[in-house]
Structure 1
Amino acid sequence: MHDLIQQLLLDSPFYQGASILLVAIFMALLAPLPREYQAFYWFSQLARSLSAKVARADRSANQQRVAGSLSVLLLVLPFWLILSFLLELAAFPWFFECLFLYLCLCDEQFHKVAEETGQALARQDKQRARRLLSQWVYRDTRELSEVGMSKTVIEKLMTTSIYGTVATILFFAVGGAPLVLGARMVKQLEYTWPALNPQYREFGRPVYLLSSLLYWLPTQAWNFTLAIQGGPGAVVQLLRPTKSPLPINNHLATCALAAKVLNTELGGPQKFAGQRVDIARIGTGPKPTPHTITAALRLLRLSKGIWVLSVLLIPCLWATLRLLAHA
């Protein structure tokens, strides 16, 4: 019994890490911050102010890419170093780890916005639906039709958990809160400077490529979670991912899988600052409606539940194996 207690004490950081993850995930879902008070919302505003000064269309493509690379370093490195150093100095680092994870998970509250948007569309209140979406996406929403808004909501729903729940769990397990925080900063810059937007086509390419590399594993893991719920056709879609010649925020394969599982059409042209960008439509099903948003919410809850359950079950299984080994 004494040896068993010693082993469990040695494993206490493992159990503490799982507890921090669970608390942060449930806090993000049950007690989210308003959009305008979120740290990464402010970070986006700072990034936009910087890009307004340095992302100039009159510069060559190489100059724009260099400016984009230096902007990423300028915005990410100082904040990341300061906050990581704070973790090292803190008397109770678990508190700050939980806080950082909570802030990195704030976009998980989009499911509530999706519900409200679906309800507004069902009432034909398109103006309210556009206002709700305009705070969460970096494309033009003023002229979106009901179908366009439904597609935007579903695509956002199906991709948010990649850099939210899934990346937080995987990165925290590998490198702790500093890795989660650094990767989340990069993802926020990718969304603020979307390479699909002609204004940021070259300026945003460095952060797009960095984000694609960082989030390759979380994306594949999330896509697998979606595919196993869609039957053999979705598994085939997973093994033969849809590719695009355009830099499309590295979530095209996820959207194609979601379209397959939900049997609907996603994708299509987008507008940025009045400029139309032609994007191929994906999926062979009918155009989405507010009812499709409801189905997407069910798919999201089940998929996210699988990941949250894994955080809960793995420590329990580990403790059970410890007990059996000493029985």
Structure 2
Amino acid sequence: MEWLATLPIDPLLILAVIVASWLFPLPEAYHPLNLFRFFAKQLAKKVNPDLSRSTQQQLISGSLAVFVAILPIWLLFYALYQFSELPWLLDALILYGCLDWRRQTKAATKVGSLLQGQQLSLAKQQAATILLRDTKPLNEMGVSKAVIESLVLHSSKLFLACLGYFMLGGGLAVLAYRLLQELQRQWNPKCQHYINFGQPASAIANLTSAPASLFSACLLALQYGLVNSYKKCQQHRQFFNRGSFYLLSCASEALQCDLGGPAYYGNIKLARMRFNAKHPPIAADIAKAMRQLHFLHFYFFLLVCAVGLLNYLWLY
């Protein structure tokens, strides 16, 4: 069990950062990731200006762009660690900047309230702040489904995964992971302009987020029906990567509502597989999904505390 002694983990530090990110979230307009998003878009315009280039050229450009976007920032923070007398504080600040779950839940709660108040147009405008897909063609069911899917995936990829990488590698690990996920979002291959250029970033992002997606899927299956979740995961997988497929399958079973189905990206309709359940999603299912996801976060933190306790017992 020597590996326990090498984990840069402090449950109290993680809890403090989670509480701070929940009580004092960074305003969206001043979030440091906004600067990186702008940089990513400008970089894509420079290195991927012509969609008529061959697929291979676009894939090579996309691969190199990942390193150009992430490596300088990572090296800058690595240098800061070398001179920092309080590396735990730098860890905390990086993790705080990487967690934006509070913004997601606030927007989703507002969407649910607007839908229940029969304000579909305002709900679609609010949903557009956290969704990549086009919201204009969506009805009430479509908005509810899109927001639920976004919550489920973001809970796994941008909350639990960030905490997991922080446990394993500290601030530098979670920084590299979070920037990679942001590149996938900015260069999403579902959008026509990035269909080839965004493939390398998307592939690496999906690979690195898979453990957290599988962990979340297993917890949902254990809590809300292991046998039925297993059966649902046996259907033929289409469109979704494996981690998202298992996670949405189990989430559909846990919520007992339909997920998946067609989605519009840049006015282009993409045919996605459906996860059929007892009923179509409604506005109330958004709040239900958030409650279930918060239970997942609680279980994960219990795991963090257990590992921290083992670490302490091993060292002392």
- Give the TM-score normalised by structure 1: 0.87
1:219 — aligned with what? 213
2:36 — aligned with what? 43
Q: Does 1:261 align with 2:251?
A: no
2:174 — aligned with what? 180
2:294 — aligned with what? 301
| Number of positions where the alignment pairs a residue of Structure 1 with one of Structure 2 | 312
Q: Does 1:31 align with 2:24?
A: yes
Alignment of 1:64-213 (within 5 A): 64-213=58-207
SS in 2 for 1:276: strand
Could you tell me how far apart the structure 1 residues matched to 2:242 and 2:53 are?
A: 23
Could you tell me how far apart the structure 2 residues matched to 1:252 and 1:19 are?
A: 33
Q: Does 1:271 align with 2:295?
A: no
Q: 1:20 aligns with which of 13, 17, 27?
A: 13
Could you tell me how far apart the structure 2 residues matched to 1:248 and 1:128 are?
A: 31
CA drift of 1:108 comes to: 4.5
Letter in 1 for 2:35: W
Conserved 8 A contact 1:108-1:160 = no
Give 1 or 2 for the bigger CA radius of gyration: 1
**Identity rate, percent:** 27
Could you tell me how far apart the structure 2 residues matched to 1:319 and 1:97 are?
A: 20
CA drift of 1:17 comes to: 2.4
Conserved 8 A contact 2:233-2:246 = no
Could you tell me how far apart the structure 2 residues matched to 1:111 and 1:17 are?
A: 26
CA drift of 1:48 comes to: 1.9
Conserved 8 A contact 1:259-1:282 = yes
Aligned CA distance change for structure 1 residues 136 and 248 (closer, same or farther; 3 Å): farther
Letter in 2 for 1:34: P
CA drift of 1:128 comes to: 2.0
Aligned CA distance change for structure 1 residues 57 and 88 (closer, same or farther; 3 Å): same
297-306 or 158-167: which moved more?
158-167
CA drift of 1:170 comes to: 2.0
Could you tell me how far apart the structure 2 residues matched to 1:322 and 1:88 are?
A: 25
Conserved 8 A contact 1:38-1:106 = no
1:5 — aligned with what? none
CA drift of 1:310 comes to: 2.4
Could you tell me how far apart the structure 1 residues matched to 2:25 and 2:249 are?
A: 29
SS in 1 for 2:269: strand
113-122 or 233-242: which moved more?
233-242
Could you tell me how far apart the structure 2 residues matched to 1:188 and 1:27 are?
A: 22
CA drift of 1:197 comes to: 2.1
Aligned CA distance change for structure 1 residues 250 and 141 (closer, same or farther; 3 Å): farther
SS in 2 for 1:33: coil
